[in-house]
Chain A
Amino acid sequence: MSVPIIMFFACALLAVLGAVLLILAREPIHSALALVLVMMSLAVLYLLLGAPFVAAVQIIVYAGAIMVLFVFVIMLLNAGVEERTDFSKIAKWVGVPLGFFLLLVTAVYLLHSSIGTTIATGVGAANQAADTRELSQQLFRQYLFPFEATSILILIAILGALVLARKDE
């Protein structure tokens, strides 16, 4: 029972707990906080997988900016309304167990496949600074065009959001 395995199970449990809370929460603000919990535990899992830069970007961008945007919108729209979740009986009694069965089959297949038994060596093995440097070299050499394209995408998103959210005059 070494530390990486304990960390993995703790973070996996927190992530699944967060996802379940997202489904079961009655107020949207609680769902948003549950999603932030999922993102933080995923960031720790990225650290365990030896990708600290991606973990930091996940926290800064996803948990620290996108989810803040969600929380802002929930607060602005005062979305404290409780939802009626009366989904159909077939979906509840047949769909969910079937979904679990499908997930079980997938899990069994994954656990016995060849890619599944590859070992993730975790934080101690990978050289952390080299990860950032190599990642940036790949990003700016091989993937330069997608990088520039995403910058234009962000510009379009900003303009779109500005135009859409303006009040009708």
Chain B
Amino acid sequence: MGFITQHPVLVVSLVKIAVLLFIVMTALAYLTWLERKVIARIQSRWGPYNVGAHGLLQPLADGLKFLFKEDMTPPTSDRLVYLLAPFLALSLALTAIALIPFGPPSVRVLGQSVFIISDVDIGLLFLLSITSIGVYGVALAGWSSNSKYPLLGGLRSSAQMISYEVSLTISVVGVLLLAGSLSFNEIIEAQRGYWLHFIPRWHVVPQIVGFLCYITAAIAETNRIPFDLPEAETELVAGFHTEYSSFKFAMFFMAEYANMITVSCLATILFFGGWLSPFPDSWTWQIFLPGAGLVLLGAYCAYDTVINMRGIAQIQFLVVTLLALGGGAISLYPPVASVIQGPFWFTTKILAILFFYIWMRGTLPRFRYDQLMSFGWKLLLPVSLANLVITAFVIIWPLLRHG
């Protein structure tokens, strides 16, 4: 006990890291489930529903499959670089999530904020630097596979990533000018307040062009449709991760989804107010929203369990129902409700952006590579630069007028 009170930073940080890692890994797994379900519904089919109730155990089955698959290594590859590439990709993707604030810094345990692992004054810059090193995982994977298609896929994919990274960075600078700081907490604090008493002062409203540039560049950075030519199955077999199997491929897979989560988190923090709620603070009933939502979900699951499920799926879904109702009951208790407000709104916004990502994947065709590159350099970069110049001009204008 004495150790905990003497080293609060170390102990609380370790606990936070363990909890966040667990949550992020589970979120990655269930993000794949969500993607398969949503795309299936867009394509008028069911998606996974066999493995567990509503296919909820499908990620577990996929994980076991990846662990037990035969691990093949191409014989003439560069062993060190071949093994390094997936580790690099996954560790960088997970490191980026450590900088993200999931809730207000005022919620503290033992003097350390609960929802933020590291509060760096130039957090935005560090997040961008981690994304910029992420190119190495892709390039080295393509190179070390010692085969035509991975090399081409790796080169194309990394060229695409470094091209769109410039537009990503420039579209973010507009927000930076409005907020006046590189720290995530200050950027979120700058989005408090309301115009006309009900429109939240989020940066998406004045920086709508910046947001559109950012989300386009982010989709290109994470190699998603419509920008996923380097890893499309019909084009380059599987691109830079063709020669990888079992766990190493799973690491690339997880790294891609972790990158998606990171850019969605960044979009919510920069443009959608982070953990701030869209309703004014005077509406005190809003703290019961998470609890009410969970209870409603539990009610739907109960209906589904009784009416539609049979056999072992019924038992599984009964467990899900009880979890949802229990979580809802706990969240309706006022002290708990006021604490989980921040993370609840943050998670809702991230889920909305991830749904948008998955929706894009189910709907749009993909760009050809030269179309992709000319779009990035000839359209997106000038538009984001123009956005930056106009934002700077609008901010400076009052100072220019009054001398």
Contact = CB atoms under 8 A, between A and B. Distances in A.
Interface string B126-139: 10110011011001
A87 to B, nearest CB: 26
A75 B181 contact: no
Interface in B137-177: 139-140, 142-143, 151, 154-155, 158-159, 162
Contacts of A72: 139, 155, 158-159
B125 A63 contact: no
Interface residues of B, number: 28
B182 interface: yes
A63 B136 CA distance: 10
Contact of B143 (A59, A63, A64, A75): A75
B182 A63 contact: no
The DSSP consensus for interface residues of chain B is helix
Nearest to A64: B132
Contact of B133 (A52, A59, A76): A59
A59 B165 CA distance: 14
B125 A56 contact: yes
A136 B77 CA distance: 46
A30 B128 contact: no
The DSSP consensus for interface residues of chain A is helix
A53 interface: yes
B78 A68 contact: no
Contacts of B129: 56, 59-60, 64
B306 interface: no
Given A75-B155, A129-B181, A53 B125 contact: yes
Contact of A128 (B121, B139, B158): B121
7 contacts: A29-B143, A52-B125, A56-B128, A60-B129, A64-B129, A68-B162, A75-B139
Interface of B: 78, 80-81, 84, 120-122, 125-126, 128-129, 132-133, 135-136, 139-140, 142-143, 151, 154-155, 158-159, 162, 181-183
Task: Return the 5 tightest CB-CB contacts between A and B, nearest first.
Answer: A64-B132, A128-B121, A59-B129, A56-B125, A129-B121
